[in-house]
């Protein structure tokens, strides 16, 4: 009996030792140890592992959560695709199917170089027909410009029409047709159905001839002003502006403009400009008080009274 008692006693002590060691290991390893031991660990500055952490050599590293990959949402992709398609469509229409009359045009040359003669020389200026958005039309010839308006419409037969009003240059209603593209060249045909005549124009870039000021030019402080003559009878005005750099600008009734260079003597102003070729003209002038008389008409400075009042 004593042998069995000793054996049971030894077995019981061993079991207690194992349970004690298990509690200790469980507490140190962060598993389910006794509450007392856990509280003692916390009081000693030891924090048991929290959810989301894993033990790694007695250190606790945060679990790395995979970042979501950024991506372009489908509606944005669709919107961008629509914009690109619209831009490409517009570009194709402009390049190959542009039937707009807006632009700069010049008369199509069909004559040979020999037949054209002096018109091919460097001193010859082309005429240009320019149509802008908003109904503004202009005709350029050298450094001269005539300004007016245009409107588009449709004839009873369904053809495209244009009504142009550019005083002293182009007036009337014409049928028009625009063909071609930017690669082969665009053509504008204006047809006067009443007279049965037409003119072929080709798309081009407006080029205005440049004139250099006279080499010996020196500005005259008294002359370098903008001079205006107001015609109350015709309700229009004429002006000359002589600039210090040797250039001038002339305008009449806000429909005719002329640019060029000038020189002067005591009683004569010489203007040089382009028409179909370089042209010069002389103006007589004299100062009367604060006004100037040019070819018999009295002009005043733009900021002063009208010519009639002077």
**Structural domain includes residue 10:** no
Q: Are residues 236 and 178 in the same domain?
A: no
Domain carrying residue 291: 226-301
- pTM for the predicted model, two decimal places: 0.65
Instruction: Determine the pLDDT at residue 9.
Output: 47
Domain boundary residue, one of 6, 27, 61? 61
Stretch 180-190: mean pLDDT, rounded?
88
Tell me the two tokens of residue 17: 């030792």
Considering the chain, what percentage of its residues have pLDDT values greater than 90?
51
* Residue 243 scores a pLDDT above 60: yes
Q: Are residues 254 and 198 in the same domain?
A: no
* Residue 163 scores a pLDDT above 60: yes
Residues 6+ apart with CB under 8 A from 118: 124, 277
Q: Are residues 170 and 117 in the same domain?
A: yes
Identify the residue with better confidence: 309 or 275. 275
Q: pLDDT-derived band of residue 218, with 50, 70 and 90 as boundaries?
A: very high
Instruction: Determine the pLDDT at residue 41.
Output: 46
Q: Are residues 231 and 151 in the same domain?
A: no
Q: Are residues 190 and 243 in the same domain?
A: no
Q: How far apart are CA 301 and CA 309, in angstroms?
A: 12
Q: pLDDT-derived band of residue 66, with 50, 70 and 90 as boundaries?
A: low
Q: Are residues 154 and 185 in the same domain?
A: yes
Stretch 176-199: mean pLDDT, rounded?
89
CATH number for 111: 2.40.128
| Dihedral in degrees, nearest 10, Cα atoms 266, 271, 272, 273 | 170
**Structural domain includes residue 85:** no
Instruction: Determine the pLDDT at residue 14.
Output: 46
Identify the residue with better confidence: 30 or 89. 89
* Residue 21 scores a pLDDT above 50: no
Instruction: Determine the pLDDT at residue 234.
Output: 67
CA distances (Å), 162 to each of 99, 153, 154, 192, in order?
13, 6, 8, 10
Stretch 23-29: mean pLDDT, rounded?
43
Instruction: Determine the pLDDT at residue 34.
Output: 45
Q: Are residues 130 and 186 in the same domain?
A: yes
**Structural domain includes residue 98:** no
Instruction: Determine the pLDDT at residue 195.
Output: 84
Q: Are residues 189 and 234 in the same domain?
A: no
* Residue 270 scores a pLDDT above 60: yes
* Residue 127 scores a pLDDT above 60: yes
Residues 6+ apart with CB under 8 A from 159: 175, 177
DSSP 21: H
Q: Are residues 173 and 129 in the same domain?
A: yes
CB contact at 8 A, 310 and 298: yes
Q: Are residues 52 and 109 in the same domain?
A: no
Number of domains in the chain: 3
Question: Using N-to-C axis directions, what is the helix angle for 35-43 and 2-29, rounded to 10°?
Answer: 40
């Amino acid at each position: 009996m004593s042998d069995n008692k000793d054996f049971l006693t030894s077995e019981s002590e061993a079991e207690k030792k194992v349970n004690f060691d298990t509690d200790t290991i469980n507490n140190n390893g962060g598993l389910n140890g006794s509450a007392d031991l856990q509280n003692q660990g916390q009081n000693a500055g030891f924090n048991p592992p929290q959810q989301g952490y894993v033990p790694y050599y007695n250190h606790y590293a945060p679990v790395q959560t995979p970042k979501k990959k950024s991506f372009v949402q489908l509606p944005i992709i669709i919107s961008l695709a629509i914009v690109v398609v619209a831009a490409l469509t517009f570009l194709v229409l402009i390049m190959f199917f542009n039937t707009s009359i807006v632009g700069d045009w010049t008369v199509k040359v069909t004559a040979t170089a020999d037949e054209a003669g002096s018109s091919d020389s460097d001193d010859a200026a082309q005429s240009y027909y320019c149509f802008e958005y908003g109904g503004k039309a202009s005709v350029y010839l050298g450094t001269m410009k005539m300004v007016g308006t245009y409107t588009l419409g449709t004839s009873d037969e369904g053809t495209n029409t244009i009504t142009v009003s550019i005083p002293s240059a182009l007036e009337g209603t014409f049928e028009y047709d625009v063909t071609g593209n930017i690669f082969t060249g665009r053509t504008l045909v204006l047809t006067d159905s009443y007279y049965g005549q037409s003119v072929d124009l080709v798309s081009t870039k407006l080029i205005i001839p440049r004139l250099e000021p006279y080499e010996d030019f020196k500005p005259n402080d008294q002359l370098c002003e903008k001079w205006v003559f107001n015609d109350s009878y015709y309700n229009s005005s004429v002006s000359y502006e002589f600039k210090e750099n040797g250039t001038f600008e002339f305008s009449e009734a806000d429909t005719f403009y002329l640019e060029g260079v000038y020189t002067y003597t005591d009683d004569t102003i010489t203007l040089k400009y382009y028409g179909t070729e370089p042209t010069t003209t002389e103006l007589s002038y004299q100062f009367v008080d604060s006004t100037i008389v040019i070819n018999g008409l009295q002009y005043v400075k733009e900021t002063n009274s009208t010519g009639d009042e002077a």
